[in-house]
Structure formats: structure tokens, C-alpha cells
Amino acid sequence: MPVEEIRVLKPSEAEGFVRIVGMAYPRQEMQAPDMKERWINRIRESMQEDPGVSFVGCFRDNRMVGVMKWFDFHMNVHGKRLLTGGIGTVAVDLLHKKEKIAKSMLLHFLRAYRDRGVSLVSLYPFRVDFYKQMGFGAGTKMNEYRVSPLDLPAGSKQDVIALSKEDRADILGSYNRYAPKTHGMIEKTARELDAFLDRPEHIAFGCRKDGQLSGYLVLQFKQVSQENASIHDLHVKEFICETPEAMRGLLAFLRSQADQVRRCIFYTQEEDFHFLLADPGNGSDRLIPFYYHESHASGVGLMYRMIDVAGYFRQMADHRMGRESCTLTFHIRDSFLPDNEKGYTICFRDGLPGLLPETPAQADAEVSLDISDFSSLVMGAVRFHSLYQYGLAHLSRPEYVEVIDRLFAVPCKPRCTTGF
């Protein structure tokens, strides 16, 4: 058996990180010698200057065979600021595929963050089924709307201004005022914002009133046809609004681009976004039976995982989950992280959860489900009623379906605009 070591990489090992990532995720710009050197330098800089990111390698017999990036995030979880973990850029050397290296790295990540007292982690999956088997549950879907500018609401754009480097502190302030009010959002750092805005194709506009920036959007123009350089689609890469007035002003600004913009492309987790639009059709002219106009495409992306169920309920002891009073035992299946696989009895008193000892009095009802579905339920990405109807959650007393549904219901499903 090879000797395995998983550890944080040193700056001198950045080239090995780029080599493995470049082969696992073929990207032309990483193969060219000058661009490869830029990637190496960028990673070395991040290793030395970004305390919230760790570059981690898996070594077998002292050979680097896999890499990943760990992120320390502060996430708004039901209004509470929690330290959570994120993992990305999971890559395995092409010569060592199918040797369970990815599984070993994921398990190491989960245990490392659990040991730090973190109860919740997240990732973007390259394959949903792969990570679901490891206990990750789906979050809120992302919707892509392709909107004709003239179908956006008319209004005044008098407070909309172009934003420059001098406005970056205000942009960051606007985002980080919005995030604590929005379940699922991750705090943004100045370094992350700079990396996003420094892309030459990104153009920022904001709504400033009485000296305060109350919303902004970041745009990218993409030419529709090589044969007509005057017509573009306008992709809205980020859209943050603290007030309805800021949203209306920025939408009016987008509407005014109709002379040279064919479609405005929005990426949003807003379930009611189509109510904003005069015609929510995406231009496909496709009808869904019986007579439903295709409005948008949707995708499953960010996934969540509970890595310490008991720890989570201790952290959220002051979070009121509705107004129900009952005692429930949750039997969690978690074959990937056996420390989680047990029964947890929660006493809810007027919605406040209290974790009881392992051998409590008999609960009012018992629920059995997989950690992946439990993670989605706790985050509010899925209703308990749906899990029960689909046979994904088993309940000892069916009359408690609506009670549990109300306990875990949320005003808005979790939202996240952070890519990692």
C-alpha cells in the first residue's frame, strides 16, 4: 500500500498544482508557457497573502497525485453569521484516476473542518450524483433568463452611474450590507472583488442616491454574430440591490440599451423574477404542454453538506424555526462520514431547537433520511413535505408532516452569488 499524506502546499509546489489542474480541467490558457507562469505566480501570491484560502495536495509515496482548494467562508445561515467551509478545484493526476484519490481528499476535507468546529460546508459539483453519494445535498437552482430589454420595466435611471476603481469600497459595502439580510449569501472580501472587477470585460454600474450606493450590477457584452458587430447580448454577471428603488433604476438603465442589445441575460435564484417582465419568454417560442411559454433554463449547482449535525443545532440554538413545539428524533444515514450517522433528538419549544442527550424520553415522531437530503432540508432548499411525498424521508407518524414542514420552511430559499 502506498504511503499517503494530505497537507497544505508550499509556494514552491505551486507548479505541481497547476500541472495537475491543467490536465484535469484542460484550458488552453493554462497550457501556453507564459500563461502557465502567470497561473503559478498568481497561486504563489494567493498562498502567501490570502489567509482564507488553502491549497492542499494529496501525496502518495511523496508524489503529488491530487490537489484541491479549501475556503473559509462566513455565510449567512438563517440570519446567523457562521464560519463554513468550501472546497473547489478538486483535481486528480491523469495517471492516478480511479484510485479513490478524490474520495480520500474529500473525506480529509470534511474531517479537518469538523475538527475546527465547522458544521456546514459547500461545493460546486462537476457531477451532482458523485457528490450526492458523498452526502452533499442540492441547493437552490440557478435560473437563466434571456430577456428582451424592452420587456424590462420602464422607470427613471437618473441615479445610475458608471463605477470605477475608486468606487470599489462602496461596491463591497453594498454587497456586505445585502449579504447579512439574505440567507445563504457569503461575505465578499476585497481581494475577491478586485479579482472579479479586474477582468477587462466586466463593466460596473451602480445606483447612488444621497451619496449612498444602494445597488450595483456588473455587465459583460458578448457579440451575437461574427457577421454583425453592432448587435450584442448583455450578460448580467452580478446584480445586487439593497432597495426596490435601486433595482428599478438599474433595470431602467438596462432597458435603455435596447438599440444595440438583443437580449439581457440574467442569472438569478429569484423564483418570482418572471413577474418583473412584460414578456418572460426567452425567445425560443417553445410551448410546453398544454400552453406554457418557455421562460428560462434552470440548473442545479451549489450543494451543501452537514458535517456535524449536533454542532449545527448547538450553533443555531437561538434561531427560531417557526412556532411549533414538539420533540423529534432524526435518524441520519451517513455512510461517508460515520461520525454523523446516528439519531439526534431535538426538542422544539415555540420553534427554538434544543439538542437532547443521546438517550432521551420517547419523541413525538421519528424521521429517517439521508444526510444529503437532511442538508438540503436544513438549508431550506427543499420542503419536508416534498421529501416525504417522494419517499426520501420516512416518518413514524404521518400526521406530523405539516408540523415538520413548518419547522423547516423558510421565507426564501438560500441564495449565493460566490463562485469558488
3-state secondary structure string across the chain: CCCEEEEECCHHHHHHHHHHHHHHCCCHHHHCHHHHHHHHHHHHHHHHHCCCEEEEEEEECCEEEEEEEEEEEEEEECCEEEEEEEEEEEEECHHHCCCCHHHHHHHHHHHHHHHCCCCEEEECCCCHHHHHCCCCEECCCEEEEEECHHHCCCCCCCCEEECCHHHHHHHHHHHHHHHHHCCCCECCCHHHHHHHHCCCCCEEEEEEECCEEEEEEEEEEEEEECCEEEEEEEEEEEEEECCHHHHHHHHHHHHCCCCCEEEEEEEECCCCHHHHCCCCCCCCCCEECCCEECCEEEECCCEEEECCHHHHHHHCCCCCCCCCCEEEEEEEECCCCHHHCCEEEEEEECCEEEECCCCCCCCCEEEEEEHHHHHHHHHCCCCHHHHHHCCCEEECCHHHHHHHHHHHCCCCCCCCCCCC
pTM to 2 decimal places: 0.93
Cβ pair 146, 190 in contact under 8 A: no
C-alpha cell at 89: 478545484
Task: Please give the pLDDT value at position 360.
Answer: 60
1 burial level (CB within 10 Å; 0-12, 13-18, 19+): exposed
Torsions phi, psi for 13 (to 5 deg): -100, 10
Cβ pair 52, 40 in contact under 8 A: no
The dihedral formed by the CA atoms of 191, 197, 200 and 205, expressed in degrees to the nearest 10: -160
How far from 83 is each of 71, 187, 301, 305, 375, CA to CA, in Å?
Answer: 10, 10, 21, 14, 16
What is the C-alpha to C-alpha distance for residues 57 and 63, in angstroms, rounded to an integer? Answer: 10
C-alpha cell at 385: 413535505
Cβ pair 157, 253 in contact under 8 A: yes
What is the C-alpha to C-alpha distance for residues 4 and 226, in angstroms, rounded to an integer? Answer: 51
Q: Which residues sit opposite 206 in a β-bridge?
A: 161, 216
Sketch out the chain's domains with CATH numbers.
4-118 (3.40.630.30), 143-299 (3.40.630.30), 303-408 (3.30.1050.10)
What is the C-alpha to C-alpha distance for residues 176 and 14, in angstroms, rounded to an integer? Answer: 31
What is the C-alpha to C-alpha distance for residues 129 and 345, in angstroms, rounded to an integer? Answer: 29
Angle, to 10 degrees, between the axis of helix 168-178 and the axis of helix 190-197? 120
C-alpha cell at 382: 427543499
What is the C-alpha to C-alpha distance for residues 385 and 138, in angstroms, rounded to an integer? Answer: 16
C-alpha cell at 221: 457584452
What is the C-alpha to C-alpha distance for residues 274 and 270, in angstroms, rounded to an integer? Answer: 9
Cβ pair 353, 346 in contact under 8 A: yes
What is the C-alpha to C-alpha distance for residues 334 and 135, in angstroms, rounded to an integer? Answer: 7
What is the C-alpha to C-alpha distance for residues 75 and 79, in angstroms, rounded to an integer? Answer: 9
Q: Which residue do the cell numbers 456586505 mark?
A: 176
C-alpha cell at 133: 453519494
What is the C-alpha to C-alpha distance for residues 169 and 216, in angstroms, rounded to an integer? Answer: 12
Task: Please give the pLDDT value at position 26.
Answer: 80
pLDDT tens digit at each of 420 positions of the chain: 789 999 999 999 999 999 999 988 886 566 667 788 999 999 999 999 999 999 999 999 999 999 999 999 999 999 999 999 999 999 999 999 999 999 999 999 999 999 999 999 999 999 999 999 999 999 999 999 999 999 999 999 999 999 999 999 999 999 999 999 999 999 999 999 999 999 999 999 999 999 999 999 999 999 988 888 888 999 999 999 999 999 999 999 999 999 989 999 999 999 999 999 999 999 999 999 989 999 999 999 999 999 999 999 999 999 999 999 999 999 999 999 999 999 999 999 999 999 998 656 689 999 999 999 999 999 999 999 999 999 999 999 999 999 999 999 999 999 999 999
